[in-house]
A and B are shown apart, each in its own frame.
Chain A
C-alpha cells in the first residue's frame, strides 16, 4: 500500500528553483530515504509533502489526504522531526512530552516512549541540559507521541558523534518494527545504505534515481577492483590476457586489477597456477557514493563542502 504519493512537486524562491518536479511514492512500513547533498532541496521537498510549505506545482497525498486542505487530519497521522528545532531552555523533558501529548487524540504513554528512547532518567532535565543526542532523541519522541502512521525524520544524526549516531540508527529500525513508515532525509551515505529499504537520490531539486541501496549501486557498477601484494616477481601479462581483466596497474608495492565478471576467481586461479600468493588481497566494489557520483556527475561531499563555504 502506498502511504505517500507526491507528483511533480515544484518550489522556487525568486529565481532559485529549489524543488524541480519531484515525484515519489513511499510504501507502507518501509524506511524511505531522501539522499542528496546539502542544498539539494531535500528539506523543502519533505516540508511540501508534510504541508508545511505550499508547493508552486504538483500534488501530495498522504494516506489519501491532501496536506494543504486536510491539514489537521494529516497532522494526526504524520509525525515530523525538523532540522534545527529546539525547545525553550528551561522546559523539562516531561513537560514537553505532556504538552505534546495534549495535542493528539490518542497519545502514546509518555514514560514508555521515553524509556524506549533511553530518556527516562532525564525526564526532569531542562532542555538546555541535554546532550545533542538526547535533544535529538527527545525530538524523535515528540514526533512519535501522537502514534503517527508516518514519521518524517530530517537530518536526524547531523551533529551527533559516531556512537550516538549508531544508537539513533538502531532506534529508527526499532520504530519501523512497530509498523511506522519512515521517511529519512539524510546526506550521509552510510546512514542511507544501512537504514533505507529504498531511497531517492536528489540533486539540484530533481530526483536522479529511486531504488534500493544495492539496486542503485548495481545500476552504476562498472566493474570490480582487486588489490594485492604479489609474493614474488610478477609480470602484468600473466593477468592481462585473462578475459575478465580490463586493466592491471601498479600502485607502489600493490597491484591493482580491474575487471568484470568472476574477476576474483579467474585472477586467483591464475596466480595459484604460477605459485604466486596474493598478500593483503582486497576486493573493492562500488559504493553508494560511487553510485551518486556516477548518477549526478558530482560528489556528495563536494556538494556539502560548497554549501558550508557558502
Chain B
C-alpha cells in the first residue's frame, strides 16, 4: 500500500505539471458555467428546458465534458506513454506490479473527476443559484457508474494503442460521440428522440445524471447498463492489455 500511495502522490504531481490538460479537465466545465451564467437568455426559465433555466438544465452535460476529457483523452495517453517509454516494463522488474501504476493513474483521474464536479456544483450553487441534485444518492450512483463505464472504455483503448499520440487520436473517436449523446454540441431537446434515448445508455449516461439532478431519480436500467459495460469490457481489457 505504501507503494500505491507514493505512486499516486507522484502521479498527481505529474498530472498537475501538465497545466493545459489539468486546467482544461478541471476548469473547463466551471468556466462554461460562468460564461452561461452571465448570458441573459441562459438564466431565464424556459419551457424548452422543462421550465428550468438553461444553466440548471445543462449541468449534467458539463459533468460529461470533464469525465470524457479525463477518461478518453488524459488517462489513455498517460498509460500508452508509460508503455511506449518502457515504464511498465521497468516496473515489472521490481517487486511491484505495473498494475499498481495503472491503479495510481486511475486514482489520480478519479480524484480529478470528483474535484472538477465538486467545483462545478459549488460555483453553480453559490454563484448562480443552480440547485444541487434532487436525488443525491441516485446522482452519486449515476456518477460513479457512468464514470466507471467511461474509464473502462478509456482503459480498453489504452490497452491496445501503441503510443501516447495514437491514444489521443483514438480517444477522440470515442470522445466525439460521447459529447454528442450528452447534448454538448446541440442541447438534447433539439436532438431526435432516439438519440436522446440512446444517450441514457451511452457512457456515462447523461440521462441518469439529468434524472437524478433535475428530475425524479435515475432510471435503474441506465445504471444497470453502465455497470454491465464495466463487467463486460473490464475483463476483456485485462485480457488484451499489452504491457510492453
Contact = CB atoms under 8 A, between A and B. Distances in A.
B10 A84 contact: no
A104 B87 contact: no
A102 B86 CA distance: 19
Interface stretch (B88-96, B153-161, B184-192): B88-96
B178 to A, nearest CB: 26
Nearest to A50: B93
A95 interface: yes
B2 interface: yes
B197 interface: no
A176 interface: no
Given A88-B85, A91-B10, A103 B90 contact: no
Interface stretch (A75-83, A203-211, A242-250, A257-265): A75-83
Interface in B82-112: 82, 85-87, 89-90, 92-96
Given A103-B96, A146-B94, A90 B17 contact: yes
A282 B215 CA distance: 95
B3 A102 contact: yes
Interface residues of B, number: 22
Given A99-B6, A99-B7, A102-B3, A90 B14 contact: yes
Nearest to A95: B10
Contacts, number: 64
B6 A52 contact: no
Q: Is the interface of B mostly helix, strand, loop or mixed?
A: helix
Task: Give the interface size bracket for A toward B.
Answer: 20 to 34
Contacts of A52: 89, 92-93
Interface in B1-35: 2-3, 5-7, 10, 13-14, 17-18
A291 B17 CA distance: 52
A86 interface: yes
A194 interface: no
Given A82-B86, A102-B3, A102-B6, A88 B93 contact: no
A50 B94 CA distance: 11
A87 interface: yes
A103 B94 CA distance: 7
Contacts of B95: 72, 75-76, 103-104, 146
B81 interface: yes
Contacts of B92: 52
Contacts of B90: 82, 85, 87, 142
A59 B44 CA distance: 75
Nearest to B91: A103
Given A85-B85, A85-B86, A75 B3 contact: no
A48 B86 CA distance: 17
5 contacts: A76-B95, A85-B90, A88-B14, A88-B85, A102-B96
Given A86-B85, A104-B94, 6 more contacts: A76-B95, A82-B89, A91-B14, A101-B6, A102-B2, A103-B3
Interface of A: 50, 52, 72, 75-76, 78-80, 82, 84-88, 90-91, 95, 98-104, 142-143, 146
CB-CB nearest 10 A-B residue pairs: A85-B86, A86-B85, A102-B6, A80-B93, A75-B95, A103-B96, A103-B94, A85-B90, A102-B3, A90-B17
